[in-house]
Amino acid sequence: MPAGKPGRPLFLASVVSAAEATAALAAGAEIIDCKDPSAGALGALPHETVRSIVETVAGRVPVSATIGDLPPDPHRLCAAAAGMAATGVDLVKVGFFAGGEPEAAIAALGRSDMGRVRLVGLLLADRDPDFGLVEAMGRARFAGVMLDTATKDGRALPDVMPRRDIGRFIASARTTGLFVGLAGALRAEHIEMLGELMPDLMGFRGALCSGKLREGPLEEGAARAIATALASLGRRSAARHAILEAAP
């Protein structure tokens, strides 16, 4: 399962096609995420498109996919997750919006047979997220949990949630044994500040696209800039560690 490299999180790139997946891989993406930005915060791509992306990636990095902006109804979420799991992805991402029966849905997902596919829960920072659900995901044997945003209005994750609360979310995931990721209109300028909180991965879409618009086409140069910023974070962290180790 994904885990941050020494001193920095992994680079998750959200793509809408096999061609974008190819460009993201060439730029240094370490997880390819299948998502349709035009269909909502966690819009699902058609299964045939996801299969094409899986075939293109060909096992070089993990592939994840979202199942859409669905209410936390056990039956609907389980059916959607099982359908997406059948495409061959490694990780299925399930968002938990307000209302419904989130704990019952998490438990039902944990009992479902997804084969080798693992589940990742997503909480929405701008929708009064219940961090108590992280523990429920751990009990249901989810692989990880991410913090994202539901409203795509240009505000990034740090704009809608204080840094201390993001840190509290990461700590709860660590305590539960889940890998932990951050996303939500993140840009290069957020990498150092959020990277200090040591998430295992950081997810990007708008920052990779033409005009920084999440519905625009992914540009390899923009994706490469994010990969470079993440690598620089790792080098700075390694340098600080070396200085501390050398101190008397």
Of 5, 93, 152, 212, which residue is the catalytic one?
93
Measure the CA angle with vertex 171, ends 97 and 195; round to 5°. 90
Task: Indicate the helix (H) or strand (E) that contains 65.
Answer: strand 63-66
Domain ranges of the chain: 10-246
**CA-closest candidate to residue 105, choices 129, 72, 145:** 72
| Tens digit of each residue's pLDDT (9 = 90 or more) over 121-137 | 999 999 999 999 999 99
Of 98, 61, 110, 63, residue with least CA distance to 84: 63
- The CATH number that domain 10-246 falls under is 3.20.20.110
User: Is the predicted pLDDT of residue 238 greater than 80, yes or no?
Assistant: no
Q: What share of the chain is helix, strand, coil (3-state, %, to 5)?
A: 45, 20, 35
Predicted confidence (pLDDT) at residue 18 exceeds the cutoff of 50: yes
Q: How far apart are CA 44 and CA 105, in angstroms?
A: 19
Sequence-ordered list of residues with C-beta below 8 angstroms from that of 68, at least 6 positions apart, any chain: 39, 40, 42, 43, 44, 80
Active-site residue among 5, 35, 152, 212?
35
The pLDDT score that the predictor gives to residue 161 is 97
The Cα–Cα gap between 73 and 76 comes to: 6
Task: Judge whether 196 and 170 are in contact, CB under 8 Å.
Answer: no
pLDDT in tens, 29-54: 999 999 999 999 999 999 999 999 99
Helix (H, G, I), strand (E, B) or coil at 84: helix
H helices of the chain, in order, are: 18-27, 47-57, 74-85, 102-111, 132-139, 157-160, 163-176, 191-195, 220-246
Supply 19's token pair. Answer: 């061609």
Active-site annotation holds for 93: yes
Other Cβ atoms within 10 Å of 85 Cβ, number: 22
Q: Over 50: is that where the pLDDT of 248 sits?
A: no
Q: Read off the pTM.
A: 0.92
What's the CA gap between 192 and 150, in Å, rounded? 23
Quick one: which H or E segment has residue 152?
Answer: none
Is residue 215 within 8 A of residue 177, CB to CB? The reply is no
